[in-house]
Amino acid sequence: MPLLERRGKYPQAVPVNDPLQSRSIQPLIGAPSIVLILIVLARFASAAGSSSITKPADPFFLPTGDAAKIVTVAREGDAEAGITVLTEAVAIKERGPQPTIKKFGEVYAFSPNFIAVHRDQPTQIEFWNLQPDDEHDFALVGPDLKILMYVKLPPLKKTTYVFTFHREGVIGFKCLRHQPAMSGQFLVLPPETK
Ligand SMILES: [Cu+2]
């Protein structure tokens, strides 16, 4: 009862001291904070989501580190040799379930698929994707089956790189979408004698 009397006398002091009053204020403060936290969390989640989407969208890379000791690859530069490699449709599978044939029935190849190069000789290789509706890619496969580089070969585009191989021997390559048919090899020969 003394509390009620005080309230009546000093209404302006009530919000500060009355525990009932402050409890009713808390949820009012709490609700906007929760909304704010949810907005922040949503932003964070969408940022995290978008970065996880962009990562697989750009898996392409050129040789670095140990891979660059086997081969270095540049977008452009002076070359002492060069060749154009076409992507060719060589067959269409006819047997099997229709949806499978539609998606996986086309058989492609690199042409040529066996290329001799000289060690330490910058060699320009121009990949020419001749299919209007098919994206190809190019993965260079190291001796321990590690992928040394991975680039895309967009439809109807010429994609050019200058390769310099540093080790003699055979190095395989393939289109990861259309392997094993779409694959080939570089034979790296000793340096050219001039
Ligand atoms: Cu392909």
pLDDT tens profile 93-140: 778 888 887 777 789 999 999 999 999 999 999 999 999 988 999 999
Query: How much distance in Å is there from the Cα of 153 to the middle of ligand 1?
Result: 8
Give 68 Cα–ligand 1 centroid separation in angstroms: 24
Within a domain: 58: no
Rounded CA separation 155/136 (Å): 7
Whole-angstrom distance, CA of residue 50 vs CA of residue 57: 11
Q: What is the CATH number of the domain that holds 135?
A: 2.60.40.420
Q: Are residues 109 and 174 in the same domain?
A: yes
| Separation of CA 70 and ligand 1 centre (Å) | 24
Q: Which domain holds residue 34?
A: 4-49
* 13 and 108 in a common domain: no
Comparing 61 with 2, the larger pLDDT belongs to 61
Q: Which residues pair with 68 in a beta bridge?
A: none
CA of 182 to the centre of ligand 1 (A): 6
Cβ distance 183 to 88 under 8 Å?
Answer: no
Separation of alpha carbons 137 and 54, rounded Å: 18
Whether residue 128 contacts residue 84, with contact meaning beta carbons closer than 8 Å, is answered with yes
Give me the percent of the chain exceeding a pLDDT of 70: 71
Q: Is residue 59 part of a domain?
A: no
Measured in Å, residue 67 CA sits from the centre of ligand 1 at 23
Q: What is the pLDDT of residues 57-88, one digit of tens each?
A: 678 999 999 999 999 999 999 999 999 999 99
CA 41 to ligand 1 centroid distance, Å: 41
- In a shared domain, residues 173 and 93: yes
In a domain, 118, yes or no: yes
Tell me: do 112 and 146 sit in the same domain: yes
pLDDT tens track for 80-90: 999 999 999 88
Q: Is residue 96 part of a domain?
A: yes
Domain count for the chain, please give it.
2
Global pTM value: 0.67
